[in-house]
Structure 1
Amino acid sequence: MIESEPEGDPASESLDGLTSKDKKRISEYAEHTLHPRTRSQYEAIWGRFAAFCEERGVSSPLPATPEIIAAYLANRAQDLAAVTVSKDAYAISWKHKQKGLRDPTLAPEVRTVLKGIRQTADPDEGYGKRKALLTEDIQAVIRTLPLEEPPSEVGPKERAKHLRALRTRALFLIGYAGGFRASELIAIRMRDIALNESGMDVHVPEAKNGPRDTGISYATDPDFCPVHSLRAWVEAVGIKAGPVFRRVRHSAEVPPDDAANPINYSTLWREINIAAEAADIDSDQVGPHSLRRGHVTQAKLNGADIDRIRRHVGHKHLEVTVGYVEDVNRMKTNTSQELGL
C-alpha cells in the first residue's frame, strides 16, 4: 500500500519551499509597496510585455524566462530611451515579486542587455523633453521627506529611511543647484568639494566637455540649502573620503570610506521618481535630467544671463543652452495672449 503525503505538507505545495499561504501574503504586501500611479504604470507595462510574449508564442508570461525578457527589452530599445527601457525592467521585476516569484531580471542575460542598452544610448537620449523640476517642485519634494531625526529606540528600518531621506535631499539640491549631469552628480567624491565663506566649489573632473569647477552658494533658507543638506548627509553617516552618494543598507549601515562605491544611475533614477511621486509630481515625466533642465529653466526665468547659465552647467556651445530654454522663451513670446481669449 502506498502512503499518501500528509495533507497540507508545506514541502508538497512548492518546490521553492513556499506554501500557497506564503505566496498569498507576499502578494498582498507587495501590492502596497508602490504609489497607486506607479502601480498603474507598471500594470500597463506588464500588459505590453504579456502581449509581446503572446506574439512570440510564449504560453504564459509569468514566470518569465530571462531570455524572453532580454528579447523584449532589446526590442523596446529600438524606439525608446534607455531610461524608459529600465522602467520596463522594474515593472517586470515588480510583477514577479508581487506574485512571490524569483526576480528574473537579475539574471545575467537581462543585466547584460540592460547594460548594453545604457552604454550605447545617447547620454541625453530622451531626457530633453522631461519635465524641468523648478524651485517650487524641489521644495515640494523636500517637504515630503522624513528628515526629522528619529528617536533612538526606533529600529534599523526607520533609521535607514531617515538616512535615505537625507541622501535624497542632498541629491536633489546639489543636482539642481549645480546643474549637474547624472553621471557628474553620482561621481562626486569628498576630495572634489571645497567649502568657502560663500558656499562651496565642486570640481567635476570628468565632465562631458572637460573638467570644470562649479560654485554653489548658500541658500537663504537652511531647509533648502544645498550646502547644509550635503553637510547633514555626510555627517550623519560619517563620510570623510570617497564617494559622497553611496548605498544605505536596510540595516541602516553605510559602506565605510575604504569600501564604498557611488550609487548607480538606476538608483538615482529610482530615488528621483519615488520622491516625485510622494510630492504628487508625475514620475513618468521626470528623471535625473529634470534637475539639470530645471536649473537652466529657473535661472532663465529669474533673469540670469544665458552665457552665465552655459558656463555654470558646462555646455560647450551656447546654442545647446538656448535649446534648453526654448520652452521658457516660447511662453514669454507667444502671441496667443493677444487674441483676447
Structure 2
Amino acid sequence: MTDIERYVRAATRDNTRRSYQAAVEHFEVHWGGFLPATADSIARYLVEHADVHAVSTLRQRLAALGQWHLSQGFPDPTKAPLVRQVLRGIRTLHPAQARQATPLLLQHVRTAVQCFETEAQQAEAAHDLPALLRARRDRALLLLGFWRGFRGDELARLQVEHIQAEAGVGISLYLPRSKGDREGLGVQHRTPALKALCPVNAYLQWIEVAGLARGPVFRKLDRWGNLSDAALNSNSLIGLLRRMLERAQLPAALYTGHSLRRGFATWATANGWELKALMSYVGWKDAKSALRYIDAAQRFGELAVPAPTPLLPGKD
C-alpha cells in the first residue's frame, strides 16, 4: 500500500468502508448490476428493493454507489433527476416510522448497578476473581456509557492511557476518533464525580481489580474469567448489555447499543438541561440529531403519567 493509499484509507471510517463495500457488492453480485452503472439501472435497483428495505438503507446504498463511481473517475449516476424522483416516490408510497432505541432510564441503571455491586461483594467474600472482574467491568461500562451518552463504538475504543480520573473530582476521556469529529482532531470528554452511581469510582475500581495500566478499557472476559488483551467488539456490545440487564431482572430485549445514549438524553431533558448544553455535552452537531434521542413526554415534567415498567416475558 502506497502512502497516498494509506492516507486515503485513513480518511474513511472502518465501519463506513465496510458498509459501502457491502452495498456495492449487493448491487453488483446479489442483484446482478453492472458497474459503472447508468441512472436507469440505479432507478430499477431502487424500485426492486422499495418494499424490502427502508428508505434510509436505500440512501446508504446510493451513497456507496456514488462514492464508487467518483473514486473510479466516472460520473455519479445516483445524482440523476430520475434517481432522485424514484427515491422521492418510494418515500411517499412506503412511509416508515424511524425506529428508536428504548431509553435505559435512570431507575433501571440504579437497579442494574445494585445487582453488580451485590455480585462484587459476594465475589470478594468467596475470593472469586472472575466473578469480581465481571461485576466491576459491567458496572463501569454501564455508568460510563450512561453518564457520557456514549455509543457502543466509543466505549469499545476507550484506552486507559487516554483517561485521567480522580476520585471525588471527575474523569477526562480522550477519543482520537469519533463519529462527530469530522476534522479528525480528537474529542475530549469530561464528567464530574457524582454522589451516587458515580462513573469515576466505577472506572477506578475496574482498572484496579483488572490491573490495567494501558490498552483498551473494556475487554472480553471468557467463561473462565480470563481477561483478553483486545478491546470488546462494538458489535458485541448489544448482546453484552442485554446479558448484563438480564442479571438484574430487567427487560433486556428492549434495549440496544443506543439505549444508554437515549437514556441519558431523557434524564438530562427531565432535569432541565437546555438543548444547546445537551448537544455540547453529548457531541451532537445539529438539533435534529439531538431531538431524535429525547423523549418528548419528559418535557411535561411531573404532570406526565409515569410509564409502567415493562414486565419480563412470563411474569405478571
TM-score category by the smaller chain?
0.5 to 0.7
The within-5 A match list for 1:39-50 is none
Q: For 1:184, what is the secondary structure of its paired residue?
A: helix
Segments of structure 2 that go 5 or more residues without pairing to the other structure are 1-51, 58-96, 306-316
TM-score, structure 2 length as denominator? Answer: 0.59
Match of 2:223 among 246, 250, 253: 250
Partner in structure 2 of residue 192 of structure 1: 162
Match of 1:171 among 127, 141, 146: 141
Partner in structure 1 of residue 204 of structure 2: 231
Deviates most, 325-334 or 315-324: 325-334
Match of 1:284 among 235, 253, 276: 253
Distance 1:314 1:251, change over 3 A: same
How far 1:330 moved relative to its partner? 6.3
CA distance in 2, matches of 1:178, 1:127: 24
Letter in 2 for 1:165: A
Match of 1:218 among 185, 193, 196: 193
How far 1:229 moved relative to its partner? 0.6
CA distance in 1, matches of 2:286, 2:187: 15
TM-score, structure 1 length as denominator? Answer: 0.55
Q: For 1:316, what is the secondary structure of its paired residue?
A: coil
Identity among equivalent pairs (%): 24
How far 1:326 moved relative to its partner? 4.3
Say if 2:210 is the partner of 1:240: no
Letter in 1 for 2:191: I
Q: For 2:245, what is the secondary structure of its paired residue?
A: helix
Q: For 2:218, what is the secondary structure of its paired residue?
A: coil
Letter in 2 for 1:179: G
How far 1:209 moved relative to its partner? 1.3
How far 1:262 moved relative to its partner? 0.5
CA distance in 2, matches of 1:129, 1:311: 21
Q: For 1:324, what is the secondary structure of its paired residue?
A: coil
Deviates most, 284-293 or 141-150: 141-150
Q: How many residue pairs get matched?
A: 208
How far 1:194 moved relative to its partner? 1.7
- Compute the RMSD of aligned alpha carbons: 3.0
Letter in 1 for 2:175: V
How far 1:333 moved relative to its partner? 11
Poorly superposed stretches of 4+, deviation over 6 Å? 333-336
1:160–1:249 contact (8 Å) kept in structure 2? no
Letter in 2 for 1:227: V
CA distance in 1, matches of 2:138, 2:122: 15
Deviations 1:117-161 (A, max 9, x none): xxxxxxxxx99522111211101011122121635765xxx4322
Letter in 1 for 2:176: P
CA distance in 2, matches of 1:324, 1:204: 22
CA distance in 1, matches of 2:164, 2:98: 30
CA distance in 2, matches of 1:310, 1:151: 40
2:268–2:278 contact (8 Å) kept in structure 1? yes
Distance 1:148 1:327, change over 3 A: same
Distance 1:281 1:153, change over 3 A: closer
Say if 2:244 is the partner of 1:271: no
CA distance in 1, matches of 2:161, 2:233: 19
Say if 2:271 is the partner of 1:299: no
Deviations 1:253-279 (A, max 9, x none): 323xxxx21011243212210122233
1:299–1:309 contact (8 Å) kept in structure 2? yes
Say if 2:291 is the partner of 1:322: yes
Letter in 1 for 2:227: V
2:269–2:299 contact (8 Å) kept in structure 1? no
How far 1:306 moved relative to its partner? 1.1
Match of 2:112 among 123, 136, 141: 141
Letter in 1 for 2:134: R
How far 1:327 moved relative to its partner? 2.6
Letter in 2 for 1:131: T
Partner in structure 1 of residue 178 of structure 2: 207
